[in-house]
Amino acid sequence: MGRFSLFHLVFVAGLLMSVRVMVAGVERDRGEAGSVVRTRWAMLAGALTLTGFVGSLLVQQQASGVVITLASIAAVLMGVSSARFLVRRAVAIPVSDHEFDPRFAMQGVPALVVAAIPAFGAGQIRLPAHNGASAVVAARSVDGTHIGCDVEVGVERIDDGVAFVEVWSAIEARL
């Protein structure tokens, strides 16, 4: 086992900072003003991790102080720029989170088929509404199969006013 150097501490600090970034995230909500992406913690984590890694390798190879210093500076710049690039790129990717997607607001709600749903066609279901009332909505099967009248179904999502449903017994079988 090689000798311990300050670069080992820098590397471990970078790894710990990376965990902090993964747990806390980089996006901060500012209320009605929207959210802002802060890359400073990710850039610090990238700089520390890469500098610690490169520095510890060079110390083990007994490189000269000038080489270690220049390589450390290059590692800092590379760690900062790559972390900034990766965070900006990840934030630019659209997220399809069911929790925030209004199409999935009715997911899991039981309904009753009132007009048979033909294979790859549309029928109708009755959904529970407020105050004990119900609403009739156009529906399609999620897997394109035929669903007969008076069959209990579960809603997966509602897309452009059409509910995509699955037979309730199939849902229960998975649970």
**Paired strand residues for 126:** 112, 136
Q: Is the pLDDT of residue 96 over 70?
A: no
Q: Roughly how many angstroms between the first and final C-alpha of the chain, as a whole number?
A: 51
> Token match 């035929």: residue?
146
Please give the DSSP secondary-structure letter assigned to residue 149.
Answer: T
Q: Is the pLDDT of residue 69 over 70?
A: yes
The domain defined by 102-174 folds into: OB fold (Dihydrolipoamide Acetyltransferase, E2P) (2.40.50)
What pLDDT, in 10s, does the model give residues 102-153? 777 888 889 999 999 999 999 999 998 777 788 899 999 999 999 999 999 9
Domain ranges for the chain: 6-92, 102-174
Percent of the chain with pLDDT over 70: 89
pLDDT at 73: 93
Tell me the average pLDDT across 29-38.
Answer: 67
Q: How confident is the model at residue 30 (pLDDT cuts 50, 70, 90)?
A: low
Q: Is the pLDDT of residue 1 over 60?
A: no
What SS3 class is residue 95? coil
pLDDT at 4: 76
Q: Is the pLDDT of residue 87 over 90?
A: no
Q: How far apart are CA 39 and CA 91, in angstroms?
A: 11
Q: Is the pLDDT of residue 74 over 80?
A: yes
Closest residue by Cα to residue 139 from 159, 158, 124: 124
Q: Look at 93 and 8; give whichever has higher pLDDT.
A: 8
Please state the pTM of the whole predicted model: 0.51
Q: How confident is the model at residue 35 (pLDDT cuts 50, 70, 90)?
A: low
- H-only helix segments in 25-152: 40-60, 65-92
Q: How far apart are CA 97 and CA 19, in angstroms?
A: 23
Tell me the average pLDDT across 24-31.
Answer: 71
Structure tokens at 63: 């490189």
pLDDT at 119: 92
